[in-house]
A and B are shown apart, each in its own frame.
Chain A
Amino acid sequence: MNSKLIVSRANSETKIPDPQILFDEKTLLPQLVSRRVLEQRFIIPISKIIPFYTNLARGRLVATKCKRCGSLYFPPRGDCSKCHSTMMLTKTLSHEARLLSFTKIFVKPSSFSQFPDYTVGVARLKDGVNVLCWIRGIAMEDISVGMKVVLKVERRPEDGALEYYITC
């Protein structure tokens, strides 16, 4: 764990008049706290998978199926890497599934710190594709590997994202 940075007695001893030079609380070693701050937010193209979002908006989870060779893809995509075709059909997935594995995240990434601890699972749908997403509405002690689950699509209350999740 990162310890705090403090102004220590050493500051006055070294006589360095820079407010960005601070001392580690535990080790008392001097650190320059960078002045340059970078915020990162990515802008990611979704042109090739627009049907995925339009179907999510209607409560459906879709995969893509190559019109030429029949390969089924989830996550959905616009290119078939097997036969090089770009003619992809939209295939609505069954919402019935079996749980392959799961975990509950207690130590969260900083960008998820506003969420309560969440449970994540991987389920195999009847169509044969796997989906990784959150598990909602099942108590941790009632979840087991191999159990029958269903998939639901809703707008996530916490952040408004169109979300698919596993439930019972």
Chain B
Amino acid sequence: MKSVAVVGTGQSKFGRRNDVRLDELSWESLKEAMEDAGVDQADIDSFVVSTVGGWSAELLPAVVVGEYSGLEPKPTMRVEAACASGSAAVYQGYTLIASGLADVVAVIGVEKMSESPTPVAVELIGRAGNYFWEFENFGLTFPGYYALYATAYLSKYGATEEDLAMVAVKNHYYGSMNPKAQFQKEVTVEEVKASKYVAWPLKLLDCSPITDGSATVILASERVARKLTKDPIWIKGIGAASGTANMSQRDDFLGLKAARIAARTAFKRARFDGDPRKLDLAEVHDCFTIAELLAYEDLGFSRRGEGYKMVREGQTYKGGVLPVNLSGGLKAKGHPIGATGISMIGEVARQLKYQVKGNRQADIKNGWGLVHNIGGTGHYAYITLLSQSRCN
């Protein structure tokens, strides 16, 4: 297998973007990423588009984006893995280059969720599981699925709704410094606790928002990457796994099995021993506050049942054991489903290149970063390890 590097990143402003259509929105991040990489359309062999859709008008986003961006007739496809679509699309771009089929691939994630009314978006995300057995008669929602995990977790380990709130407080703190975040304001534990229940025990401020946005990374083979830049960021390993569609088929509601398997695979492929102290930062999938605590445990940052202690002790702020979600996370930066994973991978690449302005920039000591991107409620899991150096 050939080595694969991230050579350019771009991201649109996240939020309610009713100033632009889907193709116009995706162009914002693609343009930025091409300029960052120093490539143009002629240099790109293939492009992968990550969109979940359903809430927006265009049924074939890949070709709509391709035509608007001047990428036609390059080969393309849409990739879907629910909220992990972005990482799945990067995985596709990675395999194209690692196999030798392409040298440069643009991976573009875009989502226009606000083209439909909010209750329709709530409906469609709620159907993301097993429609026939669990939605048709029982009307679960996406917060509802994660609430099942929150209830079981709080009950078993003695964590509290206040611990969940502290995840939101941390991520809003970093989001307040991110000019591309949907929410650029801090929140307090009291404000989170006073927000309305969405799916007990999760409240509005435990939830990531409905977001429009796009993100792009340009991937390149070692041969091309060396020509383009002095500091490519290498994809050291991607691990992926799937979970059952039905929630009823889960053994427990205390962690995501798919995330644990994907992490083990990624660590093995990257020859990484799993010690969180060797990472300089991690972006984890905090679609809900509980999901960040599950991520700490599934990734081995803490022992099972002790993830909440990390946030209680502030261990995932800068200066702690491992800074997590310096972008503001899905919680504050926003969660445009298909763009999320690409935005996370782009954030870690920029962090490792010292491209982040101000106090959000992590201290880079070992040159390693991790991205944990979950689709649905552990239906899909993708873990990506990135490093400044090609060889361990």
B143 in the interface, Cβ–Cβ < 8 Å? Answer: yes
B203 to A: closest C-beta gap in Å: 9
Residue contact B253 to A122, C-beta cutoff 8 Å: yes
Instruction: Compute how far the CA of A110 lies from the CA of B139 in the bound complex, rounded to whole angstroms.
Output: 9
Q: Which residues on the A side are within 8 Å of B132 (C-beta)?
A: 44, 75
Residue contact B19 to A122, C-beta cutoff 8 Å: no
- Interface residues in B90-118 by Cβ distance below 8 A to A read 114, 117-118
Instruction: Compute how far the CA of A117 lies from the CA of B139 in the bound complex, rounded to whole angstroms.
Output: 11
Residue contact B199 to A103, C-beta cutoff 8 Å: yes
B197 in the interface, Cβ–Cβ < 8 Å? Answer: yes
Residue contact B250 to A108, C-beta cutoff 8 Å: no
- Nearest CB in chain A to that of B146: its residue: A103
Q: Which of A75, A101, A107, A161 contacts B151 (CB 8 A)?
A: A101
Q: With A2-B118, A24-B18, A113-B119 in contact, is A105–B250 under 8 Å at CB? A: no
Q: With A100-B252, A101-B253, A104-B200 in contact, is A120–B138 under 8 Å at CB? A: yes
Residue contact A108 to B18, C-beta cutoff 8 Å: no
Residue contact B151 to A130, C-beta cutoff 8 Å: no
Instruction: Compute how far the CA of A57 lies from the CA of B28 in the bound complex, rounded to whole angstroms.
Output: 56
Q: With A29-B19, A102-B148, A132-B138 in contact, is A108–B122 under 8 Å at CB? A: yes
Q: Which of B19, B57, B131, B143 contacts A107 (CB 8 A)?
A: B143
Q: Which of A101, A130, A134 contacts B138 (CB 8 A)?
A: A134
Q: Which residues on the B side are within 8 Å of A105 (C-beta)?
A: 139-141, 144, 199
- Interface residues in B205-236 by Cβ distance below 8 A to A read none
Instruction: Compute how far the CA of A62 lies from the CA of B17 in the bound complex, rounded to whole angstroms.
Output: 48
Instruction: Compute how far the CA of A34 lies from the CA of B246 in the bound complex, rounded to whole angstroms.
Output: 35
A61 in the interface, Cβ–Cβ < 8 Å? Answer: no
B162 to A: closest C-beta gap in Å: 19
- Interface residues in A1-37 by Cβ distance below 8 A to B read 1-2, 24, 27, 29, 31, 34
Residue contact A120 to B151, C-beta cutoff 8 Å: no
- Nearest CB in chain A to that of B155: its residue: A145
- Nearest CB in chain B to that of A26: its residue: B16
- Nearest CB in chain B to that of A76: its residue: B133
B152 in the interface, Cβ–Cβ < 8 Å? Answer: yes
- Nearest CB in chain A to that of B201: its residue: A103
Residue contact A110 to B138, C-beta cutoff 8 Å: no
B148 to A: closest C-beta gap in Å: 4
- Interface residues in B339-367 by Cβ distance below 8 A to A read none
B248 in the interface, Cβ–Cβ < 8 Å? Answer: yes
Residue contact A1 to B147, C-beta cutoff 8 Å: no
A160 to B: closest C-beta gap in Å: 11
- Nearest CB in chain A to that of B196: its residue: A106
B134 in the interface, Cβ–Cβ < 8 Å? Answer: yes
Residue contact A1 to B118, C-beta cutoff 8 Å: yes
Residue contact B122 to A130, C-beta cutoff 8 Å: no
Residue contact A107 to B152, C-beta cutoff 8 Å: no
- Interface residues in A70-102 by Cβ distance below 8 A to B read 74-75, 100-102
Given A105-B199, A106-B197, A109-B141, 20 other A-B residues pairs in contact with their CB atoms under 8 A: A27-B19, A31-B18, A74-B248, A75-B246, A103-B144, A103-B148, A103-B151, A103-B200, A104-B199, A107-B143, A109-B119, A111-B123, A122-B250, A130-B249, A131-B248, A132-B133, A132-B140, A132-B247, A133-B138, A161-B137
27 A–B contacts, CB within 8 A, in A order:
A2-B114, A27-B16, A75-B132, A100-B253, A101-B148, A101-B149, A103-B144, A103-B147, A104-B200, A105-B144, A106-B196, A107-B143, A107-B198, A108-B119, A108-B141, A110-B122, A111-B139, A112-B139, A118-B138, A120-B144, A122-B148, A130-B248, A132-B133, A132-B134, A132-B138, A133-B137, A144-B155
8 closest Cβ pairs, A-B complex: A103-B147, A112-B139, A109-B123, A110-B119, A145-B155, A101-B152, A130-B248, A132-B248
